[in-house]
Structure 1
């Protein structure tokens, strides 16, 4: 029987992690399906997923894009794929174990028990819960969260979080063609647009652990997009309602 939940995992050169994260999700007591959206990784990530599809028929799905096009567009691709199928809950999760797969159940339970439309796995709802990050990166991330709250007026403590559960109605209500950003700003944009539509956003505390295998995709371009993207989002929210 098909699960009511799909976990979208975008990948680029995650051969060291992808098999392990897939197995970890499928070992959970609650059933989740998985969609891997791979950006044509040269390290064989997609081939590894294809191998595992025989082991997990009808539960493990793969979409391979032509080239590396950014996190946001990978999730949009996954959202469209999920909306074509009868999933009620659509999750975002990294491949590198920075998000604990066991916390998927906690996000799912919040959706059911707290009447939540968008559930954020939050690093900052109970202090700062980040493991193995250098102090500079912790300060940058936490400072970005304060900055986003100040500019947008959202009360989400971790607006750049990438561990998220959406109810189907949230994704279906948004104009996916109008989603502009691809990095941290993508995560902010999705939450801000849901906030403007008065969806119930709930945060669940998690412990975020930096990757131990593979390379981080963080770069200066992504950070700049987040800084200036927030201002752009706020401006458009005031003057261009159709954008949302």
Structure 2
């Protein structure tokens, strides 16, 4: 089963080399057939130049520049419309996600034959390193609200780092979110539409370079919109979008 790894990258010239080298080395070590699909989201720094250099040493690296519209959700969606694998993971360019966790996701999907694999940083075996206190507080409140509203036990919906079968991803379309709320849209649609999933512990490490692209003040209403949409779909769509 070929794995595609979609990575959105905006002004990540300092982080992207270490991220991609680590990812490639790990996937090669476990002999996992894969492609690394990077969307350069119209970066204003030298991200594109770095990717061009990396392509000479990483044979599985594919990248394109998203001319616009731009934003985290658009960049991820750009890759999700173009990847070639049998399954696809969303992975961060800033080294916050661990390639070893991705291997765990991949093997879990194969062994349990599930439609998706979600990580959780907040269950036994999960961990966060240098997680900002305010961000953690908001994260836990947001995930609690999502759990109660949708009626699920999963406690890390807002974490983008997840793995989906190609058929699952096709079943989640059309995508609605142009921004970070895509991280909530994908797993909630997966759950609401009846796709199977497993949850495994994963780790998260705060970025070493640059600044986070997530602006919490701008995202509240957008997360709420997706949450309301998925609530309405679950309880009022009469199963029209359920997995066939």
- Assess same fold via TM > 0.5: yes
1:130–1:138 contact (8 Å) kept in structure 2: no
CA distance in 2, matches of 1:148, 1:13: 31
Alignment partner of 2:223 out of 223, 226, 231 = 226
SS in 2 for 1:162: coil
In structure 2, the residue matched to 1:207 is 203
Of the structure 1 ranges 122-131 and 200-209, higher mean CA displacement relative to structure 2 is found in: 122-131
SS in 2 for 1:48: helix
In structure 1, the residue matched to 2:24 is 26
In angstroms, what is the RMSD of aligned CA positions?
A: 2.0
In structure 2, the residue matched to 1:238 is 235
Output one character per residue of 1:166-201: Cα deviation in whole Å (capped at 9) or x when no partner: 11110122223xx21234421221111111221111
- Tell me the number of residue pairs that the alignment of Structure 1 and Structure 2 aligns: 236
> Displacement of 1:68 after TM fit?
6.0
CA distance in 2, matches of 1:11, 1:164: 17
In structure 1, the residue matched to 2:10 is 12
SS in 1 for 2:81: helix
Of the structure 1 ranges 87-96 and 180-189, higher mean CA displacement relative to structure 2 is found in: 180-189
1:125–1:203 contact (8 Å) kept in structure 2: no
In structure 1, the residue matched to 2:143 is 145
Q: Structure 2: give runs of 5+ residues left out of the alignment.
A: none
Output one character per residue of 1:36-84: Cα deviation in whole Å (capped at 9) or x when no partner: 0011101010121111112223x100010114622222222111101xx
CA distance in 2, matches of 1:129, 1:139: 15
Alignment partner of 2:129 out of 86, 108, 131 = 131
Output one character per residue of 1:92-131: Cα deviation in whole Å (capped at 9) or x when no partner: 1001111112211111111011222111121122387222
Q: Structure 1: give runs of 5+ residues left out of the alignment.
A: none
Runs of 4+ in 1 over 3 A off after TM superposition: 236-244
In structure 2, the residue matched to 1:47 is 49
Of the structure 1 ranges 188-197 and 104-113, higher mean CA displacement relative to structure 2 is found in: 188-197
SS in 1 for 2:218: helix
1:162–1:187 contact (8 Å) kept in structure 2: yes
CA distance in 1, matches of 2:126, 2:18: 27
Query: What's the TM-score, normalizing by structure 2?
Result: 0.89
